[in-house]
């Protein structure tokens, strides 16, 4: 059934990482994921099989169903509809994993709803994905303005065959604004993503972003310094996690 979105949380904030860092953004976190980085409750980190775990797990496991009209009404009630319509506030579809088939269809249906209601709008849709699922033909090209793909490395604790889907990576690479964000915890992570992703898929250099594997403000300065040293050494664009600087581990902000 369409006209219904399975949402874990929705909130107005600022994009804290990636290619559009610093842009005001309304986040719609979709429920559920096809992976569990770091294991349930960080179990793989505790076992020494991963160096980080998903900092939104507790949120995307929960959720509720809302209609297209209810989400639109949220924009109206918060006084941000006009800024969304003119593209000054980005809509960021995140998760969990928003390219799960049901979510793909729901996101597409919502965008169609808004396009019919507000002709000639400039709504800017970003999607945040782990890059393991193939989308329906033309979903990215017609409905999504920017793809923020965070391919998972072995530091996630996920098996290699589940982390790498060549067809899905190729879809994202072909998008005009398809970016690949790699979370790094040590220098070996850079060598790994070069071998597993950059070289075999010929990902353009200017579409690569590296970020520190950190989820708390206490460790953010040291991890950012490490990130910048790797940026200087390898030339990749390094972006730290500004939402952690501002709000630490708070969610929904």
Whole-prediction pTM: 0.92
**Residue 230 placed within a domain:** no
41 domain-assigned:
yes
CB of 55 closer than 8 Å to CB of 16: no
120 within a domain of the structure (yes/no): yes
Q: In this structure, is residue 24 part of a structural domain?
A: yes
How do residues 216-239 score in pLDDT, each as one tens digit?
Answer: 999 999 999 999 999 999 999 999
**Token output for 123:** 């709504």
- Residues of the chain predicted below pLDDT 50: none
pLDDT digits 0-9 by tens, 163-180: 999 999 999 999 999 999
In this structure, the number of other CB atoms found within 10 A of the CB of residue 154 comes to 17
Domain membership flag for residue 35: yes
The answer as to whether 196 is a domain residue is no
The answer to whether residue 194 sits within a structural domain is no
What is the CATH classification number for the domain harbouring 52? 3.20.20.70
**Domain membership of residue 161 as a residue range:** 4-183
In angstroms and rounded to an integer, the radius of gyration of the C-alpha atoms of the chain is 18
């924009």: which residue's tokens? 75
Q: What is the pLDDT of residue 62?
A: 80
Q: Cα–Cα distances in Å, from 107 out to 29, 38, 74?
A: 11, 27, 16
Locate 187 and state its tokens: 């220098």
Q: What's the total number of domains in the chain?
A: 1
Does 204 fall in a domain? no
**Alpha-carbon distances, residue 119 vs 64, 69, 116, 157 (angstroms):** 29, 16, 6, 45
């Amino acid at each position: 059934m369409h006209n219904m979105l399975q949402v874990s949380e929705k909130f107005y904030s600022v994009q804290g990482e990636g290619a559009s860092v610093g842009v005001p953004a309304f986040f719609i976190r979709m429920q559920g994921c096809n992976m569990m980085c770091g294991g349930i409750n960080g179990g793989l980190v505790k076992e020494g099989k991963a160096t980080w775990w998903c900092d939104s797990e507790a949120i995307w496991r929960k959720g509720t169903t809302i209609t297209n009209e209810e989400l639109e009404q949220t924009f109206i009630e918060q006084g941000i509809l006009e800024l969304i319509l003119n593209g000054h506030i980005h809509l960021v579809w995140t998760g969990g994993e928003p390219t799960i088939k049901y979510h793909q269809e729901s996101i597409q249906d919502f965008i169609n709803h808004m396009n019919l209601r507000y002709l000639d709008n400039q709504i800017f849709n970003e999607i945040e994905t782990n890059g393991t699922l193939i989308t329906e033909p033309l979903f990215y090209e017609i409905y999504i303005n920017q793809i923020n793909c965070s391919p998972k490395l072995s530091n996630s604790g996920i098996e290699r065959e589940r982390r790498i889907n060549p067809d899905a990576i190729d879809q994202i690479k072909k998008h005009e604004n398809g970016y690949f964000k790699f979370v790094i915890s040590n220098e070996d992570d850079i060598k790994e993503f070069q071998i597993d992703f950059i070289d075999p898929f010929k990902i353009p250099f200017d579409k690569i972003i590296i970020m520190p594997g950190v989820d708390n403000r206490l460790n953010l300065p040291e991890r950012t310094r490490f990130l910048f040293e790797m940026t200087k050494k390898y030339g990749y664009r390094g972006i730290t996690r500004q939402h952690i600087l501002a709000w630490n581990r708070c969610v929904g902000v």
